[in-house]
Structure 1
Amino acid sequence: MQEIYVGLDIGSHSTKVAIAEERLGNNMELLGIGEARSEGVIRGNIVNTEKAQKAVSAALADAEKMAGIEVKEVFIAVGGDRLRTFASRGVTAIPRDQDVITATDVSEVLRASRAIVVPPEAVIVDSVVREFIVDKQGGITDPVGMSGVRMEADVGLLMVPKSVLMNLDRTAERAGIIPDGQAALIHGSGMATLTPDEAEIGVALIDIGCGTTEIGVFTRGTLIWAYSFGYAGESVTKDMTVGLQLPFESAEQLKVDFGSAIEKNVQGEEFVSIPGIGGRQARSVERKFLAHIIEPRLEEILTLCKDAIFEAGLASKLSAGIVMTGGTSLMRDIVQLSERVFEMPVRTGAPNIAGDVPDLARTPQFSGVVGAVLSASDKHHRIEMSEEKRGMWSKIRKWFLRKI
């Protein structure tokens, strides 16, 4: 058996677990998935660890049963409505007696980039290298082996309140599993849904879940900026509970079964039945009226995404347009509405991963948890590669010193 990775995504609506095996050629294959209704989670933030733990335990049990293995460690996707990106720059001098930049130098400059004053209530959960700069030459993705005397790293540090990560870790531990690292949910979702070309030339990934909307801009093959806020699919449902005078669960089911993001796309003579409350008779309402409620809220959410991207000065980098993922991206006509708001091409993205598991695992709702598995693998390989490069350059240096 090859390396096993386990991802955990504790969302506002549901908690998901994915177990995958990395086989020869670094090919990832899903072995099992599990999903349970979340409790004690609001806008992606855990407010009751005991309730949240029950969902983790249930999802984990289902995933383990499907995979036929028991797991001890988990890699956590960190979401929520308070993810922010902070720019940082690390600088290091290359020793004069050294011909080329080594993996040790790269580690040193990345360490320097994280040596910033982090607010006492915040914690770094992920970091992304936007570029390396060697002797004022930018746009470098891997400086190892290059010559130079000064190296800089332009890095994005992704932070959340310390309590967010502590509650995630505590919830996992209560479920009997050991947290073995974390990454921003939007970072992993990008790995799961974007094509290499999209990530290279520039794209915005928008993950609209139940309680939060998360945005990530990718270019040169990596995430360079992320942001989140607490308006998402649940906000749409709450509007429907008011407009239709329905309980939340009934409104949610209507939204999923009959909702549309564009009112004019719905025929006026289509009616749907709305269940009565407290023994009252069921009533009928035009399906067009559902879209009348849904469209303005979704348009508002998408406009908030657009404004955030523009305020960050990143709109010009989106040569590949927008990719939508998350459960709310399944709403009928949301791509058309998004193209109207952003005025650029939009598509829906879902995980593309092998494995004899239900097709549910390859839907937008599972982008975050599949992304957690891919993030865990990516982190593991980056550590291995760094150690290998460090060892290789150490051997070269020793050989060179023996020759002089």
Structure 2
Amino acid sequence: MSDRSFLDWPFFEPHHKKLADELDAWCERELSDAHPTDVDAHCRDLVKRLGRDGWLQHTAGDALDVRTLCLCRETLARHHALADFAFAMQGLGTGAISLFGNDQQKQWLDSTRAGEAISAFALTEPDSGSDVANLTTTAEPDGDDYVLNGEKTWISNGGIADLYIVFARTGEAAGAKGLSAFIVEADRPGLEIRERLHTIAPHPLARLGFNQLRVPKSNLIGQPGQGFRIAMAVLDVFRATVGAAALGMARRALDETAARTQSRQLFGGHLSDLQMVQGHVADMALGIDSSALLVYRAAWTKDQGAERVSREAAMAKLQATEQAQQIIDKAVQLHGGDGVRDGHVVAGLYQEIRALRIYEGATDVQKVIIARSVLTG
């Protein structure tokens, strides 16, 4: 059983602990460590089940509770990385609608929260990942429509999503001030799934193309030229939750390591009797608690009404993902051959954790955000 004492920290209210306990029980009942053969089908099924049982209600709406999002992601990731992915993308994919959408656009949230529609966040491009201000996909007004042309890549849920939130250049000004955000339904003519992308930890991912794709002006989220602001606001909410997912994976690695070292016989005793092993376990526990403090500080700060938590979220994501990578690596080492055996829990964690240090802002980008906040006040 993972350490649950952090739920008594002053960051949380009673309903947060209740939610974490209930979701943990749901995961024990509904999820397994079995590797799916059809990732797309499994992801669709997870979205349906998360929606059916009410968990996706927390992913969207007028008042996003970031502590709840983090607790959900931590708990799901500890049990099943693809379930965390399915949950997270329903929030990230609809974040722009939750924060900036009008009443008509927010009707989509009924479907995504019920698990009846899958959402995606289409920001990254082949030549513009972290440098969002330089994206080149265009959206040109034409009568009552905008016409989109360009390409996006590394889009989570690409190929299975029912709606994409697409960021494109509308040209109101140079750089970041000339971007806008649009709802693009998956069945729109001109939307092309140009390539399905395969990674060391299988998730639904794709490279998308937009070829003279028309959307009505009513699909514009917010105002023209607000796209960069919208994207950053969404990431400000969800970036800390990436740290929470990493934290869940790290906790699982520590749990597996504690069980392994206390049962493995070595040199006439248990592996856990060796002081060097105890030192590794202590480092793992320290990394987890320091990460948790930063993750839930960022979430609590946002929930208290802070307009921006860019520095706090950057620190949380950087610390939690980097520490989780080190913790899981130690877990692999302490499991010996089993640690690299296909199908073993810690081997799966080793594959899953790597991407979290890249997406939603790579570690080095987080360092830039943190440094700028210090140097500019």
TM-score, normalized by length of structure 1?
Answer: 0.27
> Greater RCO between the two (CA within 8 Å, min separation 6)?
1
More helix by share: 2
TM-score, normalized by length of structure 2?
Answer: 0.29
Larger Rg: 1
More strand by share: 1
